[in-house]
């Protein structure tokens, strides 16, 4: 069977499974729609959380980013795992004991204020839409790359699939679909990783392979060889980054705290039966996530090593097959600056921007580009970082079914995250805005219907954002994490750990964190000229990616000062905080 036929088969079968699961586990009540009935086993929930969490970016782009960032890529590895420690220890069990459906539920009740709830809803919707626009685009790109359809058609197919299982199944449907999606995506990630680790080091465990010797008889360790080959080509060493320490520190912290404040992650811990299950479930989620996150740096190093070895100083005619394949797919380009017919890899960009191909081919048969060639450096090769994962099966000479598996895995990763995000958006609209703010007497049936309508509307908006991505989408993933860290996290944290925090303090803190972080990112990422977005102009040398930490600190300071100056919270809030602090009684708390 041809590779293309295998891809259709794998993707088709996996989609049939997702939809089958959704029909089998469709939601019949709002409780099932919002929190899957509150009876999900902690290991199952952990697996679903992992799929929810790991997006197309984690699956496809992260290893490629690390391959080119070296040590600096650690910000993603630590940042996107360390947040689960904060979740398990500081937030999840208490929110589960609190026992309602959403993050704004908690903030609105704990701070006895509709204003606080509305501020939380605004943060949540903004964070989730920023995040989902990127996901839908990811779905479209994966479809177009593997199924030979345009990105737009890809987005529409993705919307249709998500529509079926998110609108029909609600949280209950997506939980069980995500379990299946996790299995597909982790298998698809590990198989090529294991083979490529064997190929380069002879050790089948990628995590150990990264610390092993290269089996080319040189007697050098993988990282040693990578450092020396990169330095010979004019790059800095792989194991040493180029970002300043304070920036690495702040980005890592913003990603960790942002993770702990992301609504679509938090809400997953409302679905387990007990408060103690929320802790265990976060641990399981991290195990499932860590499997991919500790493999990614190994894949990154192997891919970079292999890329240097097989491309640098190689004549184009002798370039490996995957190089030409991905050139056909617009992800690789080569400009022969010195006219020697050999591809040179060095520090710097080969040309300005991403490649715009002309119809013609050059002397060696390469595709020509019309971009302005940059002559201030010797680099001749443009590589889209995504190929580091996508080309792995070909680099390791794996059969067609592995390539098909990677296609199914990338789609599973993108769809599971999109569905989780859509659900929190629809819940925020139907539960937090409609039921809790505007129309408290709405019937259960009408609320469930409105949740489905809201989910449908959210899918359409997300799809439009995916088809016509506003220029800012790629720029502002920093928004989602920075805003979650600066607005929602402190409000939830203080709501649990301080009995004195009152509504005035919490609202002032959230607004301060939100406005400060938003303005800083907006200014540097969207308003100012890219040349202004450099360390010299940043506050304390902290990039927009890491500024959420400063926003969080401001949130805490403002909240505490304002709370000292205004009336303490009423006595029933004292009792509420007392009750969420002890686990007993969590299984009854859902009945409300």
Partner 1 sequence: MSEQDPKGAGAGAYWKENIRLLITLMAIWFLVSFGAGILFRPFLDQFMIGGFPLGFWFAQQGSVYVFIVLIFYYAARMKSIERKYDLDD
Q: What backbone torsions phi and psi does residue 404 show, to the nearest 5 degrees? A: -60, -40
Among 6, 125, 275, 492, binds partner 1 (CB under 8 A): 275
Among 19, 78, 164, 464, binds partner 1 (CB under 8 A): 78
Q: Residue 347, interface with partner 1 (CB under 8 A)? A: no
Closest CA to 436 of 34, 28, 32: 34
Cα(511)–Cα(521) distance, rounded to whole angstroms?
A: 15
Contact string 145-164 vs partner 1 (x = CB under 8 A):
--------------------
Choice between 202 and 365, CB closer to partner 1: 202
Choice between 182 and 293, CB closer to partner 1: 293
In this chain, which stretch among 156-164, 187-195, 241-249, 478-486 interacts with partner 1, using CB under 8 A? Answer: 241-249
Q: Residue 579, interface with partner 1 (CB under 8 A)? A: yes
Among 221, 357, 522, 523, binds partner 1 (CB under 8 A): 221
**Per-residue DSSP letter, 349:** -
Among 248, 303, 332, 335, binds partner 1 (CB under 8 A): 248
For residue 191, what are the contacts with CB-CB under 8 A and spacing of at least 6? 398, 402, 405
User: For the chain, what's the residue count?
Assistant: 592
What count of Cα atoms within 13 Å lies in the side-chain half-sphere of residue 84? 22
In this chain, which stretch among 170-178, 220-228, 422-430, 486-494 interacts with partner 1, using CB under 8 A? Answer: 220-228
What b/e sequence results for 134-149 when a residue is b if at least 16 CB atoms lie within 10 Å of its CB, and e otherwise?
bbbbbbbbbbbbbbee
Among 15, 182, 235, 293, binds partner 1 (CB under 8 A): 293
Q: Residue 356, interface with partner 1 (CB under 8 A)? A: no
Among 6, 222, 254, 486, binds partner 1 (CB under 8 A): 222
Site residues for partner 1, 380-409, by CB under 8 A, read none
Choice between 88 and 422, CB closer to partner 1: 88
CB of 248 vs partner 1, minimal distance in Å: 5
Judged by CB under 8 A, the number of residues near partner 1 is: 57
Q: Residue 228, interface with partner 1 (CB under 8 A)? A: no
Among 17, 19, 90, 378, binds partner 1 (CB under 8 A): 90
DSSP bridge partners of 556: none
SS3 368: strand
Among 108, 134, 263, 297, binds partner 1 (CB under 8 A): 297
Torsion of the alpha carbons at 139, 144, 149 and 152, rounded to the nearest 10: 50
In this chain, which stretch among 324-332, 470-478, 528-536, 574-582 interacts with partner 1, using CB under 8 A? Answer: 574-582
Cα(78)–Cα(187) distance, rounded to whole angstroms?
A: 22
Q: Residue 89, interface with partner 1 (CB under 8 A)? A: yes
Among 37, 38, 64, 73, binds partner 1 (CB under 8 A): 73
Residue 381 burial class via C-beta count within 10 angstroms: exposed 0-12, middle 13-18, buried 19 and up: middle
Contact string 522-561 vs partner 1 (x = CB under 8 A):
----------------------------------------
Q: Residue 245, interface with partner 1 (CB under 8 A)? A: yes
Q: Residue 453, interface with partner 1 (CB under 8 A)? A: no
Cα(12)–Cα(397) distance, rounded to whole angstroms?
A: 24
Cα(269)–Cα(512) distance, rounded to whole angstroms?
A: 28
Choice between 293 and 316, CB closer to partner 1: 293
Among 9, 85, 115, 153, binds partner 1 (CB under 8 A): 85
Residue 424 near residue 105, CB atoms below 8 Å: no
Cα(400)–Cα(393) distance, rounded to whole angstroms?
A: 8
Q: Residue 205, interface with partner 1 (CB under 8 A)? A: no
Closest CA to 108 of 31, 100, 269, 490: 100
- For 270-283, what is the HEC assignment? HCCCCHHHHHHHHH
Among 113, 212, 456, 498, binds partner 1 (CB under 8 A): 212
CB of 245 vs partner 1, minimal distance in Å: 6
Q: Residue 236, interface with partner 1 (CB under 8 A)? A: no
Q: Residue 216, interface with partner 1 (CB under 8 A)? A: no
Among 328, 352, 564, 584, binds partner 1 (CB under 8 A): 584
Cα(437)–Cα(108) distance, rounded to whole angstroms?
A: 10
Closest CA to 23 of 165, 174, 176: 165
Among 110, 137, 280, 385, binds partner 1 (CB under 8 A): 280
Torsion of the alpha carbons at 374, 60, 80 and 250, rounded to the nearest 10: 10
CB of 169 vs partner 1, minimal distance in Å: 28
SS3 315: strand
Q: Residue 451, interface with partner 1 (CB under 8 A)? A: no
Which ranges constitute the DSSP H helices of 148-218? 151-162, 168-201, 206-209
Q: Residue 264, interface with partner 1 (CB under 8 A)? A: no
Cα(57)–Cα(27) distance, rounded to whole angstroms?
A: 29
What count of Cα atoms within 13 Å lies in the side-chain half-sphere of residue 414? 31
Choice between 212 and 377, CB closer to partner 1: 212
Binding site for partner 1 (CB under 8 A): 66, 71, 73-74, 77-78, 81-82, 84-86, 88-90, 93, 207-208, 210-213, 221-224, 239-240, 245, 248-249, 252-253, 256, 274-276, 279-280, 282-283, 286-287, 290, 293-294, 297, 575, 578-579, 581-588
């Amino acid at each position: 069977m041809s590779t293309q036929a295998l891809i259709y088969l794998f993707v088709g079968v996996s989609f049939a499974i997702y939809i089958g699961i959704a029909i089998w586990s469709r939601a019949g009540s709002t409780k099932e729609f919002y929190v899957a009935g509150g009876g999900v086993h902690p290991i199952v929930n952990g697996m679903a959380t992992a799929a929810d969490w790991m997006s197309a970016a984690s699956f496809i782009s992260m290893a490629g980013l690390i391959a080119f960032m070296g040590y600096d890529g650690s910000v993603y590895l630590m940042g996107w795992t360390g947040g689960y420690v904060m979740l398990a220890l500081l937030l999840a069990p208490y929110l589960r004991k609190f026992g309602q459906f959403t993050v704004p539920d908690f903030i609105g009740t704990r701070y006895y204020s509709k204003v606080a709830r509305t501020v939380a809803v605004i943060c949540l919707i903004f964070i989730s839409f920023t995040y989902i626009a990127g996901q839908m685009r990811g779905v479209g790109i994966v479809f177009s790359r593997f199924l030979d359809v345009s990105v737009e058609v890809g987005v529409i197919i993705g919307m249709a699939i998500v529509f079926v299982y998110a609108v029909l199944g609600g949280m209950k449907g997506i939980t069980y679909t995500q379990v299946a999606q996790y299995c597909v995506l982790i298998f698809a990630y590990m198989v090529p990783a294991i083979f490529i680790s064997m190929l380069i080091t002879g050790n089948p465990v990628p995590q150990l392979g990264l610390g092993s010797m290269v089996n080319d008889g040189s007697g050098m360790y993988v990282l040693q060889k990578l450092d020396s080959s990169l330095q010979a080509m004019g790059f800095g060493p792989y194991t040493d980054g180029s970002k300043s320490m304070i920036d690495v520190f702040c980005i890592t912290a913003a990603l960790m705290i942002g993770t702990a404040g992301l609504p679509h992650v938090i809400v997953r811990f409302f679905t387990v039966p007990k408060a103690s299950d929320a802790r265990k479930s976060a641990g399981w989620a991290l195990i499932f996530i860590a499997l991919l996150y500790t493999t990614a740096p190994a894949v990154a190093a192997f891919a970079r090593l292999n890329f240097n070895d097989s491309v640098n100083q190689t004549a184009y005619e002798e370039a490996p097959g995957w190089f030409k394949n991905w050139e056909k797919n617009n992800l690789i380009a080569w400009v022969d600056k010195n006219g020697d017919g050999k591809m040179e890899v060095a520090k710097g960009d080969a040309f300005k921007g991403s490649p715009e191909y002309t119809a013609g081919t050059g002397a060696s048969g390469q595709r020509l580009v019309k971009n302005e060639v940059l002559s201030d450096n010797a680099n001749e090769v443009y590589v889209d970082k995504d190929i580091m994962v996508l080309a792995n099966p070909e680099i390791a000479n794996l059969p067609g079914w592995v390539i098909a598996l990677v296609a199914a895995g990338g789609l599973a990763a993108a769809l599971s995250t999109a569905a989780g995000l859509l659900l929190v958006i629809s819940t925020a609209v139907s539960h937090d805005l409609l039921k809790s703010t505007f129309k408290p007497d709405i019937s259960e049936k009408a609320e469930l219907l409105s949740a489905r309508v809201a989910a449908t509307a959210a899918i359409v908006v997300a799809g439009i954002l995916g088809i016509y991505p506003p220029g800012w989408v790629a720029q502002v993933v920093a928004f989602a994490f920075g805003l979650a860290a600066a607005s929602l996290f402190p409000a939830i944290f203080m709501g649990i750990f301080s009995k004195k925090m009152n509504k005035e303090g919490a609202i002032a803190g959230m607004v301060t964190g939100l406005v400060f972080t938003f303005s800083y990112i907006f200014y540097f990422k969207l308003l100012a000229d890219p040349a202004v977005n450099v360390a010299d102009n940043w506050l304390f040398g902290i990039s927009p990616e890491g500024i959420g930490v400063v926003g969080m600190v401001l949130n805490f300071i403002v909240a505490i000062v304002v709370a000292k100056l205004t009336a303490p919270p009423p006595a029933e809030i004292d009792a509420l905080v007392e009750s969420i602090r002890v686990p007993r009684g969590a299984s009854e708390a859902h009945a409300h």
